[in-house]
Amino acid sequence: MSVTWRAAVVGRWTARIAGTLIALFFLAFFVGEGFPPIFRLPWREGLSALAMTAMILGLLLAWKWEGLGGAVAVAAIVLMRLIGIRGIGTFLFLLPAATGLLHVVCWSGLRSAGVGWEVPRKALALVGIAVAVFILLCANEIFGMPPLMTPAFHPPRDMVGTWEANSTTIDAVFTINPDASVSGRIGDATLIDARIVYNRSWFGTFMHWRTDYLIVGRLSRGDRFTAPLTNTGTGLEGSLFLSQKPWGLKLRKQ
């Protein structure tokens, strides 16, 4: 009985930690991409979005109601399997399914052994702090322009120079200077007070959010613009946001 009880305790904490990490992983996609418009999606996609939300909530609820939370997570994944969601048999979904099932098994084992639910306050405090820090990092990455903790950008030698857009839809020329200032034009309007900066912090790089760089400034006619760009090896590619309208942008060095 002692060995079984210890195994259940180890399994409980393994499931709690794994479930929290899995929930934060999926929440990162919701935060980065935005919650899908369920009521405008086909019924299958809308139901799968609700099931995925239930899976995340189940894994987090398992901290308080272990059996219920694990059962909700497993049921949500079973539902996604029944409605034929692609990729449900991959490691990405098998891991949360196994974690939910582990919650149920450990809850059953500890309940039969007469061990009640108990979480040390320090553990709850650490989990709460971790979730709060994660949410703050996400908010900083989404709303910061550039985000806090983003280092100052010093253009490397191969980036300094004149870059032109090779496109029939937009005519733009950007000259990146060694001090990170940017001159040039968009159409017949001259760039004013434009600069290139890093567009994400270490957290954004880790999560693969946003782009590497951002050119921001205004035009001689008064419009403000932003151009998030990524170095593709052969050039800088991204978008140009002008008057709230996005344009595809591919820059090549001249």
Pick the range with the lowest mean pLDDT from 123-132, 195-204, 236-245: 123-132
Instruction: Record the pTM.
Output: 0.56
So where are the chain's domains?
2-143, 161-253
What percent of the chain shows pLDDT beyond 90?
3
Q: Is the pLDDT assigned to residue 116 strictly greater than 80?
A: no
Residue with tokens 């139901």: 47
Tell me: the pLDDT tens digits for 14-66?
Answer: 888 888 888 877 776 666 555 555 555 566 666 777 778 888 888 888 888 88
Q: What is the mean pLDDT of residues 127-146?
A: 75
Q: What is the mean pLDDT of residues 199-210?
A: 82
Q: Is the pLDDT assigned to residue 90 strictly greater than 70?
A: no
**CA–CA dist 197, 200 (Å, integer):** 9
**CA–CA dist 23, 69 (Å, integer):** 12
Q: Is the pLDDT assigned to residue 118 strictly greater than 60?
A: no
Q: Is the pLDDT assigned to residue 214 strictly greater than 70?
A: yes
Q: Is the pLDDT assigned to residue 184 strictly greater than 80?
A: yes
Q: List phi, psi (to 5°) of 13.
A: -70, -30
Most confident of 32-36, 51-55, 102-106, 184-188: 184-188
Q: What is the mean pLDDT of residues 164-175?
A: 80
Exposure class string for 223-236: b at 16+ Cβ within 10 A, else e:
eebbbbbeeeeebb
Which pLDDT score is estimated for 53? 80
Q: What is the mean pLDDT of residues 113-140?
A: 69
Most confident of 90-99, 121-130, 141-150, 191-200: 191-200
Which pLDDT score is estimated for 195? 92
Q: Is the pLDDT assigned to residue 91 strictly greater than 70?
A: no
**In angstroms, how far is CA 212 from the centroid of its own chain?**
15
